[in-house]
Chains A and B, each alone.
Chain A
Amino acid sequence: MPRVILRSHEELEEAARRIRKHIIRMTGSAGSGHPGGSLSAADIVTVLYMNEMNYRPEEPDWPGRDRFVLSKGHAAPVLYAALAEAGFFPVDDLLTLRQWGSHLQGHPDMRSTPGVEMSTGSLGQGLSAACGMAIAAKIDGQPWRVYALVGDGEMQEGQIWEAAMTAAHRRLDNLVTFIDHNGLQIDGTCEEVKSMRNPGARFAAFGWHVMEIDGHSIPQIMDALAKARQVKGAPTCIVARTVKGKGVSFMENQVGWHGTAPKADQVEQALRELDEAGAGEGGGN
């Protein structure tokens, strides 16, 4: 299957809706998983796989590919949905999520799933691995780029800041890190649990080039990525303000939907809402 590149905002918005529907169906079918933080990252991951990144789905190990590391590994459903849409494996595989014998493990496993670049799940570790990849590209003088997605709650892990120092110190301008800033974590809001207020200022203080965007605006995500390509001598951090559970009314901004799967009737309602949103915007399926 050849690489699909979507260029218009409408096509990308439609792809993001498809990916959201996959997330709902997958977690519903699995009976467990993390829909909230998958939905909040859906637009970012859609733009990366459907527009920004260079890769060959028929040759997942192609050395010249761009790499994406999902540091917040519990959002595996959004990554798997994007990889299926990108053609790394059949869309039908998505419904095997978390089942015995499936290549779709509960958290990303690079040895199981074609297209997964790094095994993640233990929070805080993915950004270091992304740095390692970016350093490898620099050593070899290769133009491929590295993208990482970090959760705002995940930023409470100290290793994130070790990696933030590494990327800035080594001037990894081939590395772009998104912060999925949805403001919620398992035990409550990030503000209540341990404040991660103003993550952009924190990354800027570490020496990163920082941009802040609406993480559900396809044009803003695309624009930030284009600007990141122009940044020289520093890694880029894109703080994406997002809504956990985005696109499903009863999940939006609800702490409880971090790690709870929707039941059958909730799956139906969520899919209906996503379809209606698509129709409302002149999209559809």
Chain B
Amino acid sequence: MAEMIATRVAYGRALARLGAQRGDVVVLDADLSKSTMTHEFAKAYPERFVQMGIAEQDMMGTAAGLAAAGKVAYASTFAMFAAGRAYDQVRNSICYSNLNVKICATHAGLTVGEDGGSHQCLEDIALMRVIPNMKVFVPSDAVLTEWLVRQVADVSGPVYVRLGRPAVPVIYHPEQRFELGKAVTLREGSDVAIVACGVMVARALDAADILAQQGISARVLDMFSIKPIDAEAIDGAAAHCGAIVTAEEHSVIGGLGGAVAEAVTSGICVPVERVGVNDRFGKSGKPDQLMEVYGLTAKAVAEAAMRAIARKR
């Protein structure tokens, strides 16, 4: 059984360590620091922590001002409020000027659980990736999250990192090497490729196991870098496997599935099946229960793989 760590917990740890390494890092939060885990940084570096209160629009604007004055500003709140409530501020105050603001949004997707549909942001990948200058990353585990949080400090310009609430399996060895813009091939395969991000990566690996039992060889890619997307890896998957399944804890419209479909239509055209939330709002429930009800399971991914294979010409 893999160790279980929430990506937001890994974020909090990495951010506190980054604070020691870089004096130009400042952190902003909107009254959720104990949930987003920025409170660890706040405790260690109170002079560089800016508590904004429940004011996400002001937080994004203040982060823009800090960045304009030379700081690397990490701004955190729930995904719903970062990408939804403060959209115009993210676009006009941060991205339009290509400012060094790293939006690390937690509690994304259905796995928020009991808080319900108002808090389960299923649109943020779509909203963020469409803005020029913005880069979008969705880490699948704690190891990748810690690497990303350090790495994006060196990226020039705005970044959106999507993090989750519940503990998720650790997938990577601590020594694993990553590269921004490059997918990680977690499993080689030749009949179908599963391109996943976030919490769906672990389920994609389970789906590959299910498919293997039926004699189907599935490649599994962790497409944590949604923008820039790894078009080369998608082309490789299309050329080698001939069919693709995407899997994300997000609307099937405009997120990873959308990005992969766009890449496929400008590259090697193969069938693409998208697993995600089918243009619906979330509801209250336990995280695993919701993932089941909304069809975000290993079984659903394996079934989508069969459909994709059946569509091969």
Question: Taking beta carbons and an 8 Å cutoff, which residues of A are in contact with B?
Answer: 63, 67, 69, 109-111, 117-122, 124-137, 139, 158-159, 162-163, 165-166, 169-170
Contact = CB atoms under 8 A, between A and B. Distances in A.
B48, B60, B67, B68 interface centre (most CB from chain A within 10 Å): B68
Given A136-B65, A136-B66, A122 B58 contact: no
B57 A159 contact: yes
Contacts of A126: 61
A165 B53 contact: yes
B68 A109 contact: no
The list of the 4 closest CB pairs from A to B, nearest first, reads: A132-B65, A128-B61, A162-B58, A136-B69
A125 B89 CA distance: 7
Contact of A117 (B68, B92, B93): B68
B36 interface: no
Interface residues of B, number: 29
Interface string B30-52: 00000000000000000110101
A125 B60 CA distance: 9
B98 A128 contact: no
Contacts of B174: none
Nearest to A131: B62
Given A133-B65, A135-B65, A137-B69, A165 B93 contact: no
14 contacts: A67-B69, A69-B65, A109-B96, A110-B97, A118-B93, A125-B89, A128-B93, A129-B68, A130-B65, A133-B66, A137-B69, A159-B57, A163-B58, A169-B53
B311 to A, nearest CB: 44
Contact of B97 (A109, A131, A137, A158): A109
B97 A132 contact: no
B55 A132 contact: no
B89 A159 contact: yes
Contacts of A109: 96-97
Interface in B57-81: 57-58, 60-71, 73
Contacts of A111: 97-98
Nearest to B48: A139
A128 B69 contact: no
A119 B57 contact: no
Contacts of A67: 68-69
A163 B67 CA distance: 16
A261 to B, nearest CB: 24
